[in-house]
Amino acid sequence: YTGSIHDDTPSFQSVLIGFSTGTSLATASEAQLLAFATLVNAAVESGGVLENAFGTCLLEHLGQVRARKKLWPYLSKVAREKTKA
């Protein structure tokens, strides 16, 4: 997806929607996956709106976008629990 997500002020959710296609994750190197998973894990552990955004806009959809297998080894236990099988 390369178009505008919406015309509103960017939010955590609107930024994470860009990852919902799985394309970015499918072509990521191991170092990039590790760095991204570190961010995801920290966001989930922080709680609040950041945890909600990563959970609902990314982790719940990893299987649908066929990125679960690629990111799974790098996710914390808490982050893995937010994914859907």
CA atoms within 13 A on the CB side of 62: 23
Q: Report how far residue 69's alpha carbon sits from residue 82's, in angstroms, rounded to the nearest whole number.
A: 14
pTM value is 0.79
- Using one digit for the tens of pLDDT, what is the confidence trace for 48-76? 998 998 898 888 888 887 788 889 999 99
- Using one digit for the tens of pLDDT, what is the confidence trace for 27-43? 889 999 999 999 999 99
